[in-house]
Amino acid sequence: MPHLLDGDQHELDPLERQVVAVFVDGVRVLGLPRSIGEIYGLLFISQSPLSLDDLVLRLQISKGSASQGLRALKSLGAVREAEVGAERRTYYEPAIELKRLVGGFIREQVRPHLESGKTKISRLAETAQEIDDQERREFLGERIERLETWMRSSGKVLPILQKILGQ
Amino acid sequence: MPHLLDGDQHELDPLERQVVAVFVDGVRVLGLPRSIGEIYGLLFISQSPLSLDDLVLRLQISKGSASQGLRALKSLGAVREAEVGAERRTYYEPAIELKRLVGGFIREQVRPHLESGKTKISRLAETAQEIDDQERREFLGERIERLETWMRSSGKVLPILQKILGQ
DNA sequence: CGGTTTGTTCAAAAAAGTTTGAACAAACCG
DNA sequence: CGGTTTGTTCAAACTTTTTTGAACAAACCG
């Protein structure tokens, strides 16, 4: 039976809502779905670890979303399972060190794309070799060279980024 | 009348298709639409500037997409209007300095989000002041402090990023 | 065992984002 | 002027991504 006045214990209070909104926006910039921002946001502002059911209840999202969102956050290293004595249910708490978050994001989202980009560009270079028209081939060589430089720069920047953000 | 054998002059050759694919993937990582990758990719690999109609014809996209895509790319500083003598139609060429591209992306996509994030966090800090429960308020203070540190780190990293990529 | 709790999976529904194309505006030109 | 070319706008169509929830699996427990 639905509650008529929604004065429910489980609903987010205004401050929680604000925090969740911050993270929803944040993950959106990173290209991650809203539910991931909601989950991380609520964990971030909770004083004690939360279970999947807590998230479902308080964020009003489906079990499916909560389960998938937690999986993604775990793989990013953004949440971990909390040690809770003698409980069957698992509870989650957020990783709050920027270093860790950035590291996970780079590992999971950035590196794979960089790698596949490099592969594609190698194949490109091969295709360009086969062009007959010399002028065209030289032009392509220059442009592909530039792409390779971009890739090298990007690769170089990541560890530096991590270093700066690890403070 | 549709062409039956598609041996059309205007279709992309295999190399062009490969390049376009690289950029489609690239912009996707940045959260930009496919058409923007297609347009930039084709400009990147063209030896001479292209007009809006060229893009429509060769990429087989609508005028609407081409127009909007070019606008976005211009605002990112990723394409510029080429000087072509005595032509009414405007022709576009790509900016190919990584520095410029990164700068535009940071200016248009990153900074605005950082700014709005900072604003939201300030409001958050105010809301947290009004919490009655002292323990809760102190906890919130710590977490909000951390958010502010994250924001400062991000702000600091941008110029460094630009500097490294500007080579 | 059989029942309960906890969590996962995945097809379908919903939401969000992108593209299209027709209508419009603006610049040019004979 | 009136016609043509060039480019923009934006509602509707389409595509892609996300979310839902019912079915399932796995662990526990009396």
Is the confidence at residue B167, as pLDDT, over 80?
A: no
The string of pLDDT tens digits covering residues B72-98 is 999 999 999 998 777 889 999 999 999
Cβ neighbour number for residue B27 with a 10 Å cutoff: 23
Torsional sign, CA B20, B25, B57, B55: negative
pLDDT at res. B10: 82
Is the confidence at residue A3, as pLDDT, over 90?
A: no
Out of A3-12, A40-49, A51-60, least confident range: A3-12
Task: Round the average pLDDT of chain B to a whole number and report it.
Answer: 93
Is the confidence at residue A10, as pLDDT, over 90?
A: no
The string of pLDDT tens digits covering residues B92-147 is 999 999 999 999 999 999 999 999 999 999 999 999 999 999 999 999 999 999 99
Cβ neighbour number for residue A148 with a 10 Å cutoff: 15
* Rounded-to-integer distance, Cα B46 and Cα B92, Å: 10
The string of pLDDT tens digits covering residues B24-57 is 999 999 999 999 999 999 999 999 999 999 999 9
Q: Which two tokens stand for residue B68?
A: 């909007």
B82-CA/D4-C1' distance, Å: 24
User: Average pLDDT of A153-158?
Assistant: 93
User: Average pLDDT of B8-16?
Assistant: 86
pLDDT at res. B2: 41
- Judging contacts by C-beta atoms under 8 Å, the chain A residues touching residue B137 are none
Chain B interface with A: residues with Cβ < 8 Å? 14-15, 18-19, 21-22, 25-26, 29, 31, 44-45, 47, 96, 98, 109-110, 113, 116-117, 120-121, 123-124, 127-128, 131, 136, 139-140, 143, 146-147, 149-150, 153-154, 156-157, 160-161, 164-165, 167
pLDDT at res. A166: 80
Count Cα neighbours of B30 within 13 Å in the Cβ-side half-sphere. 21
**Residue-wise over B88-108: b if at least 16 C-beta within 10 A, else e?**
eeebbbbbeebebbbbbbbee
Task: Kindly determine whether the C-beta of residue A109 is less than 7 Å away from any atom of nucleic acid strand C.
Answer: no
The string of pLDDT tens digits covering residues A108-131 is 999 999 999 999 999 999 999 999
Residues 6+ apart with CB under 8 A from A88: none
pLDDT at res. A87: 84
Extended strands (E) in A3-161: 50-51, 79-82, 91-94
Q: Which two tokens stand for residue A125?
A: 């270079």
Task: Round the average pLDDT of chain A to a whole number and report it.
Answer: 93
* pLDDT-based confidence at residue B3 (cuts at 50, 70, 90): very low
Residues 6+ apart with CB under 8 A from A42: A12, A16, A19, A20, A50, A55, A58, A59
The string of pLDDT tens digits covering residues A63-88 is 999 999 999 999 999 999 998 877 88
**Rg, C-alpha atoms of chain B:** 22
Task: Kindly determine whether the C-beta of residue A68 is less than 7 Å away from any atom of nucleic acid strand C.
Answer: yes
Q: In Å, what is the CA distance from A118 to each residue of A145, B19, B20, B85?
A: 12, 12, 14, 38
* pLDDT-based confidence at residue B166 (cuts at 50, 70, 90): confident
A19 three-state secondary structure: helix
